[in-house]
Amino acid sequence: MLTRRGWIAGIGSILAAGAGRFFGIGEFLVLAVAGLLLIGTAVVWTRTRRVRLRIERSTQPVRVHAGGTARVTLTVTNLGGPAPVLQLTDPVTGTLGARLRIGPLLSAERVQATYLLPTERRGRLDIGPADIAVADPLGLARMSIGTGPRTTLVVYPATQTLVPPRLARGPEPLGVAADVHTLQRIGEDFYALRDYTVGDDVRRIHWPSTARLGRPMVREDEVPRRSRVTVVLDTRSATLDPDRFELAVSAAASVVLACASRHDPLRLLTVAGADTGFVTSGEGLAQVFDHLAEVSTSGTGTLRGTLAAAASASTGAVVVVLGGASLEAARDAESISAAESRSSALTVIRVRAPDTRLPAGGRRWVDITLAADLTARWAAAQAEAVPA
């Protein structure tokens, strides 16, 4: 196929031929014929190239928080004879993609190219499939000679470092956690198994269960005293504009990350009706962040109903991240008050516009704006005593 330069040369040659015939100028006809011959030669040259390539892509890492660094490394291996200059295009969602030129390759020669991915906003980036084309030396024609694989990068919301939420006193059962496998008590020590996490003592790996389940499992030697945490995210489009919704998602992700650092069984609920169930670590936690990477606002659901669902399955801590729209403020305050009577430890993060006047909340209400630092205000709220 012709490149942009080839189309310009072709149109110019046709115009020159028309002008030469109309005005009787032979030089224009010569230029037109020369231009068309060059284009024809370029097309034949590109179509007769016999190039065999293997394209490989690696993305490091495959999941990253917004603002982090993620890079793609493309490896091109020449499987045939000497290859001419190649043009590589690697599409990336929301961008023009990466466009690279690869110099001539000898037989069996390998070359690598690396570029950074845009991670400013959360979401899912589809990368590829890479397209490699050979072009003639004048850049008049090109022909695709191969495509590479397709990969995906998940960009998690940006997070801030928070202290874990204060928990209700007393132990919590572990049976509701999706990735914790309790076993019958054996003696006084061995009680349960959980997924292996980085930093665990490898001597505590339970090899029979590891072989049966296909992933490393670690022995629990005593009944841990852990409370569950439910994070409720407001997704109502009426209460959050796009910028403040991104801040709300970031706040919810920060709370989830803080709970994960303490290995608390946690659950994510959205007003739109999404429910991850209780998870602790591993793939369950990754699924929570995957959902936060792609969650969007919706016109469905009520805060009161979501809080009721949160309280019905959790006697532990509840963290509510809601929008601060004055239209819904009074109704939301009533819903929160009803939820406080059912939950022994409830914290509210309210994302509001800087000029919005809202009624004062309780002791454990945290009001933030787009320019606010959540860390300090969250720590102050968690310093409040939790009733027994």
Task: Answer whether residue 157 shows pLDDT above 90.
Answer: yes
Distance from C-alpha of 104 to C-alpha of 78, rounded to nearest angstrom? 10
Distance from C-alpha of 284 to C-alpha of 224, rounded to nearest angstrom? 19
Q: At what angle do helices 303-312 and 326-340 cross, to 10 degrees?
A: 20
Residues 275-329 have pLDDT tens digits of 888 887 777 888 899 999 999 988 888 888 888 877 765 557 888 898 876 556 6
Task: Provide the pLDDT for residue 23.
Answer: 83
Task: Provide the pLDDT for residue 330.
Answer: 67
Does this model's pTM top 0.75?
no
Q: How far are the Cα atoms of 1, 48, 115, 274 from residue 9, in angstroms, in the given order?
A: 13, 21, 32, 56
Provide the 10 A C-beta neighbour count for residue 189. 10
Helix, coil or strand: residue 106? coil
Strands 229-233 and 217-220: unpaired
Helix, coil or strand: residue 61? coil
Task: Provide the pLDDT for residue 70.
Answer: 93
* Confidence tier at 356 by pLDDT (50, 70, 90): low
Task: Answer whether residue 192 shows pLDDT above 80.
Answer: no
**293 or 22: whose pLDDT is higher?**
293
Task: Provide the pLDDT for residue 384.
Answer: 64
CB 220 within 8 A of CB 185: no
* Confidence tier at 386 by pLDDT (50, 70, 90): very low
Both structure tokens of 117: 């991915």
Task: Provide the pLDDT for residue 173.
Answer: 46
Residues 39-84 have pLDDT tens digits of 888 888 788 777 888 888 899 998 999 989 999 998 988 888 888 8
